[in-house]
Structure 1
Amino acid sequence: MSFVYHIIENRRRYFLFSAVLLGLGLAAMIASLVSTGSPLRVGVDFRSGTRFEVQFEEAVDEGAIRDVFADFGLTSPSIIALRGTGLENAWQIRGEFVAPETAQDILSALGEVAPLRPGTSQVTSVSASVGNEVTRAAIIAVIFSAIVVLFYIVIVFRQVPNTFRYGTTAVIALVHDLLLVLGFGAIAGLVLGWEVDALFLTAVLTVAGFSLQDTIVLFDRMRENIARRPFEKIDRIANRSIVETIHRSLVTQLNAMFVLVAILLFGGVSIRPFIATLFIGLLAGTYSSIFIAVPLLVTWEERILARARTA
């Protein structure tokens, strides 16, 4: 037998590896909570604030930009120089929420520092109520997806004994992936200063879909093999199912990951956090489907059988 055929037998290593990654992410979220007041460094999309994106015709010093905002009472804005093709002398400034009239006055004041390139200035403002609504909608979307998948698996896998365990382990794998993505977001916020915005939410929901798809494909193959080999042990069925589907899963995910790596290396800086989050999420989804969801299901089944024998 090949190494791949012994995946289930090595499940404790995978569980330990995931525990370490989750622990690092949890530690980063705690550190972020202490330093920023939030488990993740949230952007304007999730809290009240105003974001300015401007591009000057000539080079401008960060201190000059900060002085302009200080004149309007904004003493601690987040100022980031944007890098990429066509982004010469481009800046992104995030600060407290200001009225639209004040935002236009700030743009005019920035234009006095140096001429602004026409058609490049953008101002995005989000009130506290809108930020709370976006956060609430994101949480509801993830919970709703988990419930739908749970019921879907219970209905589709109704011919397999204990279908609820399949749905439960799929949801656990989903939570595992989302926690890894959140941990990555916390680490990136602490190390790179990346903020969580609407694109981050898009990446999280995309990861949820890919993760559940991979897990359902594996469980469906297990369902077929259980029907074909009703007397074979669950661990052998699980190993066999993984071997039969791993090539398809890896090819599908690797194609997407190669594209993401290319965009990450050669794309603009503004979408880099989104692409990096999506890449980590897809990687986690592929890993959890094979090394977390199925081994966890086998462990659950074996413990139930062991208790039945000793009863």
Structure 2
Amino acid sequence: MNIIKHKWIFLGVSIALVAASIFSMSYFGFRQGIDFTGGSLWQLKIEGVSSEEVQSFFNTKLKLPLSSISFDAANSSYALTLENISDAERQAALASIKSGFAKTAEELDFWSVSPSVSDEIKRGAIMAIVMVLVGISLYIAFVFRKISQPVSSWKYGLITLITLVHNVLIPAGLFAALGHYLQLAVDTNFIVALLVVMGFSVHDTIVVFDRIRENILKSRHVGHLGDIINRSIGETIRRSINTSLTLILVLSALYFMGPLSLKYFVLTMLAGTTFGTYSSIFVASPMLTLFHRDRS
């Protein structure tokens, strides 16, 4: 397959996906979890009632408006997000639930995050993503420092940075849309998933770039960079796809059979792994030709 010949098709697909993701984030915004906004998350096992009934009871009887509610069919539990409540308020609400709504109700988990802590978590999450992006790019530039022709080493780092941003924006845009339509909230699990995706996708990119570097050093015809890239991709594509498929199969099993608390962490990983593999093969390598010094 001549990937370089059709590079503008692959790059066009990525540009369209990134543009759609940016639109999604700017138009819908993010529905933030309590990690970033502050509040309480209460997990209750309540059988035989619907989500609408639970929400109505909290809103009208307990006077505790819910920000979000999700149901885990695996253990008949509800994850309820609401404003910060004290331990005394929680105990009183639980007693009211058992006496006037569901006698068999059982508390599975509860935790609160204050607004000051949530602001600190948000700053830390943003800093972590920025540091990873810059650190990985500098590392790639250092690893490829011995190559100056036909593409300078720092450009390998720049291309890696571009593909990492690509791999972060697409899952982020997806979650912005899901937050609007399905009330999914982003939290620290989402940030951790993005960091894992960046680490996995940069590994794929390094594998392809390293093979390109080897073939450039072996070849006397550095002007034919497109041929070298095509050959290098052909030598590594099976390994990259097989590795990604193995991870995708495991993540798919976790998504459909795992606990609710991991469901959207896994979904972020699935989206990031898929598009990360695509970018390492069809985006990062073809972009090297855009920085080709010697086009003879």
Is TM-score (shorter-chain normalized) higher than 0.5?
A: yes
SS in 1 for 2:6: helix
Which position in structure 2 is the counterpart of 1:224?
Answer: 214
Gaps of 5+ in 1: 33-38
- After superposition, residues 16-55 of structure 1 pair within 5 angstroms as 16-32=12-28, 39-55=29-45
Q: How many Å separate the matches in 2 of 1:188 and 1:142?
A: 22
SS in 2 for 1:77: strand
Which position in structure 2 is the counterpart of 1:272?
Answer: 263
SS in 1 for 2:44: strand
2:144 to 125, 135, 157: 157
Which position in structure 2 is the counterpart of 1:59?
Answer: 48
- After superposition, residues 63-74 of structure 1 pair within 5 angstroms as 63-74=53-64
Q: Is the 8 A contact 1:211 1:289 kept in 2?
A: yes
1:114 to 93, 102, 123: 102
- Residue 163 of structure 1 aligns to which amino acid in structure 2? S
How far residue 64 of structure 1 moved from its aligned partner, in angstroms, is 4.9
2:91 to 72, 87, 104: 104
- Residue 250 of structure 2 aligns to which amino acid in structure 1? V
Q: Is the 8 A contact 1:54 1:116 kept in 2?
A: no
- After superposition, residues 128-139 of structure 1 pair within 5 angstroms as 128-139=115-126
More off after superposition, 42-51 vs 166-175: 42-51
- After superposition, residues 165-180 of structure 1 pair within 5 angstroms as 165-180=155-170
- Residue 242 of structure 1 aligns to which amino acid in structure 2? I
Residues 248-268 of structure 1: per-residue CA shift (max 9 Å, x gap): 111111101011122222333
Matched, 1:295 2:286: yes
SS in 1 for 2:111: strand
Residues 39-76 of structure 1: per-residue CA shift (max 9 Å, x gap): 211111211111111013x4234335533344554335
More off after superposition, 15-24 vs 168-177: 15-24
SS in 1 for 2:112: strand
Which position in structure 2 is the counterpart of 1:35?
Answer: none
- After superposition, residues 244-259 of structure 1 pair within 5 angstroms as 244-259=235-250
Distance change in 2, residues 1:115/1:290 (3 Å): same
Q: Is the 8 A contact 1:69 1:106 kept in 2?
A: no
Gaps of 5+ in 2: none
SS in 1 for 2:93: helix
Q: How many Å separate the matches in 1 of 2:161 and 2:67?
A: 40
- Residue 48 of structure 2 aligns to which amino acid in structure 1? A
Matched, 1:8 2:28: no
What is the CA RMSD across the aligned residues, in angstroms?
1.9
Q: Is the 8 A contact 1:103 1:123 kept in 2?
A: no
Distance change in 2, residues 1:166/1:77 (3 Å): closer
Overall identity of the aligned pairs, in %? 33
1:142 to 121, 126, 129: 129
Q: How many Å separate the matches in 1 of 2:202 and 2:257?
A: 30
